[in-house]
């Protein structure tokens, strides 16, 4: 795996830091433990990449920011500690957009989509998506505040699971917006995502927002099929105003789920009016607070996008924030009521097909970036932000390919703590289709 990274990643730029020496030591230790009969489980000895928001003891954690270029934690984040406890080998730290927003710092590398280098690599967990799709790790850890597990997963044609808020500890993970941040797995197949999720989920006394819920045991639901499972579909929400080929792929997936025994139920998604604005007020204000030690005092070290994003956060008034929180509460109540009536709701994942992008847009100001994004995918925020605001879990996986050879993705959203059911549904669809077996050609 290290040889492949050193051969291919100078082109794709998914890694910020390769932890080669430590990875080799951990791999040798895993080999000895397994040979001695001390097998820790399905992650023992498996090489994993970690988004460079997650603390790694003795290894820099930059978060894509110039202001943290030299920050070296003295401890592991809880998610990294749990991976190590499960026997995983940490290959290195994966690149991301600056501070996990949408734009990149001009002084940092930008990951390239392995299907087409001129297409969007997804949101902030772009390095995690690119490395996993390109076979530069067996799976990866990402974070999702407005779609940053699901968008890069869908753009790169892999599986992404955004857990229930609090299901995976955020301790030792650099914050974007603490009330919206989620940590979760990204992998090539649903089974791998479930294994990774089971290893990292669980309450944590170091994170007061973590949930002391029963073990997730998502792997146990795999292979149970979908007979009798109720899947909601709002055709207006899911199929209108999106790429025509993507809509056809989603309809084909819906039909296949029916053939596999699921019941497709007509539902109505919550009203999205004012939703993006509420997300923006909450996210920018919380992010400005998270960066208060370095912004605005070191504003010149930030890239154009994040400087503008943080400035917006400092201008959010108490009344605006209160209104945003009321909108969030109403959306969450509507979402909960809908999800109580079905086992999951299906729709797009917000990051597919990957739209044309340029380096100048990604390191530039917010306005041109968002104009290009809105022109290419005007509804993408509707497919990811509501799940973060409501704190409910969602999983995405490939469901086809465009005529240009770009992945299409489908998303299933469930009620709180329903990751096991979501993995069960996604696994049934995955195993009935060939899409997870198709990978980009990335040899240097």
Given its phi and psi angles, is residue 414 left (phi above 0), alpha (psi -120 to 50 degrees) or beta?
beta
Q: Could you confirm whether 154 is annotated as catalytic?
A: no
Contact between 50 and 173 under an 8 Å Cβ cutoff? The reply is no
The two tokens of residue 62 are: 């930059």
The residues, ordered by sequence, that sit 6+ positions from 407 with a Cβ below 8 Å of its Cβ are 115, 154, 155, 156, 157, 352, 353, 354, 398, 400, 401, 435
HSE-up of 147 (CA within 13 Å, CB side)? 25
Please tell me the distance from the alpha carbon of residue 135 to that of residue 88, in angstroms, as a whole number.
16
Q: 């230790």: which residue's tokens? A: 29
The residues, ordered by sequence, that sit 6+ positions from 357 with a Cβ below 8 Å of its Cβ are 118, 119, 120, 121, 372
> What is the DSSP-derived secondary structure letter of residue 220?
G
CA 19 from centre of chain: 22
Cis check: omega of the bond before 353, within 30 degrees of 0: yes
Q: Could you confirm whether 153 is annotated as catalytic?
A: no
Looking at 13, 14, 51, 77, which residue is catalytic?
51
Strand order across the 344-347 sheet: 15-18, 89-94, 47-51, 139-144, 182-187, 159-162, 394-401, 407-413, 344-347, 230-233, 263-266
Contact between 422 and 394 under an 8 Å Cβ cutoff? The reply is yes
Label the pairing between strands 182-187 and 139-144.
antiparallel
Please tell me the distance from the alpha carbon of residue 303 to that of residue 292, in angstroms, as a whole number.
16
Q: Could you confirm whether 148 is annotated as catalytic?
A: yes
Please tell me the distance from the alpha carbon of residue 300 to that of residue 371, in angstroms, as a whole number.
24
Looking at 97, 128, 148, 409, which residue is catalytic?
148
Please tell me the distance from the alpha carbon of residue 27 to that of residue 44, in angstroms, as a whole number.
9
Q: In 33-69, which positions are buried (b, 16+ CB within 10 angstroms) versus exposed (e)?
A: eeeeeeebebbbbbbbbbbbbbbbbebbbbbbbbbbe
Looking at 14, 124, 169, 380, which residue is catalytic?
124
Please tell me the distance from the alpha carbon of residue 193 to that of residue 202, in angstroms, as a whole number.
16
Report the catalytic residues: 51, 124, 148
């Amino acid at each position: 795996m290290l040889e492949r990274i050193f051969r291919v990643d100078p082109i794709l730029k998914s890694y910020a830091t390769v932890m080669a020496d430590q990875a080799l030591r951990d791999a040798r230790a895993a080999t000895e433990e397994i040979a001695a009969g001390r097998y820790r489980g399905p992650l023992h000895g498996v090489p994993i990449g970690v988004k460079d928001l997650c603390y790694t003891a003795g290894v820099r954690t930059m978060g894509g920011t110039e202001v943290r270029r030299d920050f070296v934690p003295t401890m592991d984040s809880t998610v990294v500690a749990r991976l190590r406890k499960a026997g995983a080998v940490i290959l290195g730290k994966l690149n991301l957009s600056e501070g996990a927003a949408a734009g990149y710092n001009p002084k940092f590398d930008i990951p390239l989509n392995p299907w087409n280098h001129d297409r969007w690599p997804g949101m902030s967990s772009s390095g995690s998506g690119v490395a996993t799709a390109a076979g530069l790790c067996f799976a990866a850890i990402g974070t999702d505040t407005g779609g940053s597990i699901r968008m890069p997963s869908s753009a790169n044609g892999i599986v992404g699971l955004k857990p229930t808020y609090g299901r995976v500890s955020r301790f030792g993970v650099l914050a974007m917006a603490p009330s919206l941040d989620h940590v979760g797995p990204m992998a090539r197949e649903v089974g791998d995502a479930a294994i990774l999720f089971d290893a990292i989920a669980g309450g944590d006394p170091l994170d007061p927002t973590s949930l002391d819920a029963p073990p997730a045991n998502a792997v146990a639901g795999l292979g149970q099929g979908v007979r009798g499972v109720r899947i909601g579909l709002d055709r207006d929400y899911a199929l209108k105003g999106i790429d025509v080929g993507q809509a056809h792929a989603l309809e084909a997936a819906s039909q296949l789920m029916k053939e596999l025994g699921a019941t497709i139920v007509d539902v109505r998604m919550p009203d999205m009016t004012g939703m993006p604005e509420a997300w923006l007020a909450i996210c920018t204000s919380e992010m400005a607070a998270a960066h208060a030690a370095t912004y605005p005092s070191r504003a010149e070290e930030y890239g154009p996008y994040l400087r503008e994003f943080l400035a917006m956060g400092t201008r959010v008034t108490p009344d605006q924030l209160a209104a945003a929180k009321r909108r969030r509460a109403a959306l969450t109540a509507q979402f909960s009521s809908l999800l109580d009536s079905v086992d999951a709701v299906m729709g797009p994942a917000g990051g597919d097909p990957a739209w044309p992008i340029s380096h100048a847009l990604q390191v530039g100001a917010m306005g041109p970036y968002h104009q290009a994004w809105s022109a290419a995918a005007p509804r993408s925020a509707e497919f990811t932000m509501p799940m973060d605001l409501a704190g409910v879990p969602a999983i995405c996986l490939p469901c086809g390919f465009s005529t240009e050879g770009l992945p299409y993705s489908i998303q299933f959203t469930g009620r709180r703590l329903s990751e096991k059911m979501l993995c069960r549904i996604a696994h049934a669809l995955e195993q009935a289709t060939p899409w997870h077996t198709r990978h980009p050609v990335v040899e240097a």
